[in-house]
Amino acid sequence: MEHNIEDVPTALITGGARRIGACIARELHAAGMRLIIHYRQSRAEARRLQEELEAVRPASVALVQADLLDTAQLPRLLEQSLAVFGRIDALVNNASSFYPTPLGTATLAQWDDLLGSNLRAPFFLMQAAAPALRTTHGCIVNLIDLHAQRPMDQYAIYCAAKAGLASLTRSFARELAPEVRVNGIAPGAILWPEHAIDDAEREQILERVPLRRPGSPEDIARTVRFLVCEAPYITGQIIAVDGGRTTGV
């Protein structure tokens, strides 16, 4: 069945140019959605991803640049996104900062960065996107973390931010119902951090995972696709994609 182009659902993905964000973009694009891919500094990666996806379906991907730490830019980011395709059906809050802040060394700049990217920006993006999502009876998916529930040593600020995002997910699910669904995904060991982590530490982490292996970005992307496209009666939930790690210690 052919659809009017104006009826094609559209997803806005923050931090969608690389790593898990790019995998989510590929998955939602394969599901037939148009995409608005946000990036901050990864313009080259965003452009390559756009070219890759538009080789499959022309004029289906737009790029928007913004620094999510600049809260004043967020309403404009939504305005730019709506101007491209005229609608937003899904907001995927994927962009995140992640690094340790050991007690006694943490700075205000680190606090502002980690809370800003993981909590403040998703809040104000959800607030800005709410009218458009109500119009389309759309949804929000927030990328959280299993460590929102089980804090990790030396990552207190990051874990607190993700715990806050988990709470926001449930709160917005109630406040935006019945028109908009809001859910979260809590990844476990999916992609190893970009900062150094040695083999012994990786093995120690995997020993606590019942499936005894890391997951893949595709595991997260498929769960996003499920929540966006196939779960009309699910809201206010946070799905752990962690190989069973949260079932134990």
Report which of 64, 66, 67 is spatially closest to residue 50, judged by C-alpha positions: 64
Q: How far is residue 200 CA from its own chain's centroid?
A: 29
- Please report which residue ranges of the chain form alpha helices under DSSP H: 19-30, 43-54, 74-85, 108-115, 121-136, 156-176, 199-206, 217-229
Token pair in block for residue 93: 């809050």
The Cα–Cα gap between 72 and 77 comes to 9
Give the SS3 label for residue 11. strand
Q: Which residue out of 39, 99, 158, 233 is catalytically annotated?
A: 158
Token pair in block for residue 152: 């990790």
Asked if 158 is an active-site residue, the reply is yes
Report which of 90, 166, 72 is spatially closest to residue 129, judged by C-alpha positions: 90
Are the CB atoms for 75 and 128 separated by under 8 Å?
yes
The Cα–Cα gap between 143 and 165 comes to 9
Report which of 174, 171, 78 is spatially closest to residue 131, judged by C-alpha positions: 78
The Cα–Cα gap between 174 and 57 comes to 36
Q: φ and ψ at 183, to 5 degrees? A: -135, 170
- Residues with a known catalytic role: 158
